């Protein structure tokens, strides 16, 4: 019988710990499939964040180095600079990349570091229990915005990907989603392209992926998928933000 679906080689045989309906496991799988398809598993080093995906090193079957909260771009820079033959990717949440790690990320992009960032945007701090994130949308209730995010008090949602598009050293920035099979397929293509930019030694690449967090959004998985498409996408519209041909 022909095998049509299997675990990618770049994923370990370890059950995911992520909540039901969370987007991380899908994104892990997509990244692993791309690494397998590009044949780069044996020269890839991944840098997981502090956040829900901190344990990503338990799932990816490639060399993995943990970074302090927000510093993945700097750690990946250090790895890639001394070993340009390696493929370095960071895997970061919105708090990690767009709040505490903003400086490291913008400067890595601006230097055109040959690294690839996977940016999972779920509009909330997941692991710490649902606090306001830089990408929390206006009016969104979190544990630290109990009356909803009020921009004049709490600041506006930050569109980091647009900012990175301005950086001269970024080559490819795209925002996608994992809220439907159509979007999942688009996301895989984007991830593949982001890795290709690195393999072609062209500069910084990043894929921002809108991803549901039913647990902290206090929704069912189905409601959370709907919220991504109907609410998040109005603030963070999926699109190619930058593609230097």
Partner 1 sequence: MSETKEKKKDKKLMRGSHVLGEAAIRAGCRAYFGYPITPQNELPEYMAEQFAQMPDAVFLQAESELASINMVMGASIAGARVMTSSSSPGISLKQEGISYIAGMELPAVIVNMMRGGPGLGNIAPAQGDYFQATKGGGHGDYRLIVLAPAYGQEIADMTRQAFDLADKYRNPVMILGDGMLGQMMEPVVFPDPIDPAQLPAKPWTLTGCKGRPSRIIRSLWLDVNREEELNWRLVRKYEAITAEVVDQEMYLAEDAELIIVAYGTAARIAKGGVQRARAMGIKVGLFRPKTLWPYPSEPLARLADQVDEIIVFEMSTGQMVEDVRLAVEGRCRVSFYGRPGGVVATPEEISRVISSTHHRAHPKKVAGGRASGGSRLTVVG
Classify the C-alpha dihedral 25-28-101-233 as positive or negative: negative
Considering beta carbons, is residue 64 or 196 the nearer one to partner 1?
A: 64
Evaluate whether 149 touches 136 at the Cβ level (below 8 Å).
Answer: yes
Q: Is 60 in the site for partner 1 (CB under 8 A)?
A: yes
Q: Is 193 in the site for partner 1 (CB under 8 A)?
A: no
Evaluate whether 123 touches 140 at the Cβ level (below 8 Å).
Answer: yes
For residue 152, count CB atoms less than 10 angstroms from its CB and return exposed for 0-12, middle for 13-18, buried for 19 or more.
exposed
Considering beta carbons, is residue 97 or 137 the nearer one to partner 1?
A: 97
Q: Is 54 in the site for partner 1 (CB under 8 A)?
A: yes
x/- letters, 88..127, toward partner 1 (CB under 8 A): ---------------xx-xx--------------------
Interface stretch with partner 1, choices 67-75, 120-128, 145-153, 206-214 (CB under 8 A) = 67-75
H or E element at residue 85 = none
CA–CA gap between residue 126 and residue 110 (Å, rounded): 28
Evaluate whether 174 touches 239 at the Cβ level (below 8 Å).
Answer: yes
Number of residues that bind partner 1 (CB under 8 A): 35
Considering beta carbons, is residue 86 or 184 the nearer one to partner 1?
A: 86
Considering beta carbons, is residue 29 or 80 the nearer one to partner 1?
A: 80
Evaluate whether 98 touches 132 at the Cβ level (below 8 Å).
Answer: no
Q: Which two tokens stand for residue 213?
A: 């967090």
Interface stretch with partner 1, choices 75-83, 159-167, 170-178, 200-208 (CB under 8 A) = 75-83
Question: Would you tell me which residues interact with partner 1 (CB under 8 A)?
Answer: 41-45, 47, 54, 57-58, 60-68, 71, 74-83, 86-87, 103-104, 106-107
């Amino acid at each position: 019988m022909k095998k049509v679906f299997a675990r990618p080689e770049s994923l370990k045989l370890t059950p995911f710990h992520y909540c039901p309906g969370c987007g991380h496991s899908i994104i892990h799988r997509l990244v692993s499939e791309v690494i397998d398809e590009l044949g780069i598993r044996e020269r890839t080093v991944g840098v997981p964040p502090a956040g829900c995906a901190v344990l990503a090193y338990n799932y990816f079957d490639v060399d993995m180095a943990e970074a302090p909260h927000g510093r993945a771009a700097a750690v990946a820079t250090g790895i890639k600079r001394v070993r340009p033959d390696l493929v370095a990717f960071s895997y970061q949440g919105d708090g990690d990349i767009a709040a505490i790690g903003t400086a490291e990320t913008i400067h890595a992009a601006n230097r055109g570091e040959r690294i690839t960032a996977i940016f999972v945007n779920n509009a909330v701090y997941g692991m710490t229990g649902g606090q306001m994130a830089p990408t929390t949308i206006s009016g969104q209730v979190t544990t630290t915005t109990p009356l909803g995010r009020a921009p004049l008090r709490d600041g506006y949602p930050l569109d980091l990907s647009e900012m990175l598009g301005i950086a001269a050293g970024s080559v490819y920035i795209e925002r996608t989603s994992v809220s439907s099979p159509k979007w999942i397929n688009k996301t895989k293509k984007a991830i593949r392209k982001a890795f290709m930019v690195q393999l072609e030694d062209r500069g910084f690449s990043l894929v921002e992926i809108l991803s549901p967090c039913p647990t902290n959004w206090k929704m069912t998985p189905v409601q959370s998928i709907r919220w991504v498409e109907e609410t998040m996408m109005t603030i963070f519209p999926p699109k190619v933000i930058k593609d230097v041909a």
